[in-house]
A and B are shown apart, each in its own frame.
Chain A
Amino acid sequence: EIVLTQSPATLSLSPGERATLSCRASQSVSSYLAWYQQKPGQAPRLLIYDASNRATGIPARFSGSGSGTDFTLTISSLEPEDFAVYYCQQRRNWPLTFGGGTSVEIK
């Protein structure tokens, strides 16, 4: 099973600041990594797929990078609606696995 480790667990930032979230895989997932955003009481939403491609309707302030075992989700300038929990997920191998999540909270 591929284990995804996200860091930090919590990120405390102010609106307008840059957020950098990390996801590390226990073995290579090539570029088969996605990022999801989940707000309280809501279902997750796909943000980034195949490591660096924005999903439909996702603002350009969200970007993804990385390949192999190390990946980054960057939010260039936090908007109030971006404070949420973010999960990475791999589809390289079964079972499909998620990281433990990073909570981006208002400082």
Chain B
Amino acid sequence: EVQLVESGGGLVQPGGSLRLSCAASGFTFSRYWMSWVRQAPGKGLEWVANIKQDGNEKYYVDSVKGLFTISRDNAKNSLFLQMNSLRAEDTAVYYCARGGAEPGPDWFDPWGQGTLVTVSS
């Protein structure tokens, strides 16, 4: 069974940092693009970042460029999101999602259960 389990969320002060992790199992992690998608409380979905299979291509939504860094460790079947200079508007549930095995962006399937990040003083 394909499984994605996020961790690392919590309460952080504005300007602080947090590192999210996503542990993958049930599939060959190194063959797939991976993504982070977030959802602010009561709001819709927003794509945050994508990373290619080998980690050499990364894409970000404009609002997090230069602030967030997506990375992966294929040996440990793990995905990460380093979030710096956090702002109140970054408060959201952050989902890890699997992309496709082909070149280019693909659909998000499946998704993890999400981890809540709250930015507040």
Interface residues of A (CB under 8 A from B): 34, 36, 38, 43-46, 49, 55, 87, 89, 91, 94-101
Decide if A95 touches B62 in the complex (CB within 8 Å). yes
Decide if A49 touches B107 in the complex (CB within 8 Å). yes
Interface residues of B (CB under 8 A from A): 35, 44-47, 50, 59-62, 95, 104-114
Decide if B44 touches A91 in the complex (CB within 8 Å). no
Secondary structure class of chain B's binding surface, majority of residues: loop
Decide if B105 touches A46 in the complex (CB within 8 Å). no
CB-based A-B contact count at 8 angstroms: 54
CA distance A8 to B109 in the complex (A): 25
Instruction: From the candidates A43, A49, A87, A89, name the one contacting B95 in the complex (CB within 8 A).
Output: A43
A-B contact pairs, 23 of them (CB 8 A): A34-B107, A36-B45, A38-B45, A43-B95, A43-B114, A44-B95, A44-B108, A45-B111, A49-B107, A87-B44, A89-B45, A89-B107, A91-B104, A94-B105, A95-B47, A95-B60, A95-B61, A95-B62, A96-B35, A96-B105, A98-B44, A99-B44, A101-B45
Which A residues are in CB contact (< 8 Å) with B47? 89, 95-98
Which A residues are in CB contact (< 8 Å) with B62? 95
Decide if A87 touches B45 in the complex (CB within 8 Å). yes
CA distance A34 to B60 in the complex (A): 20
Decide if B110 touches A46 in the complex (CB within 8 Å). yes
Instruction: From the candidates A34, A46, A95, name the one contacting B59 in the complex (CB within 8 A).
Output: A95
CA distance A43 to B44 in the complex (A): 12
CB distance from B100 to the nearest CB of A (A): 9
Which B residues are in CB contact (< 8 Å) with A34? 107-108
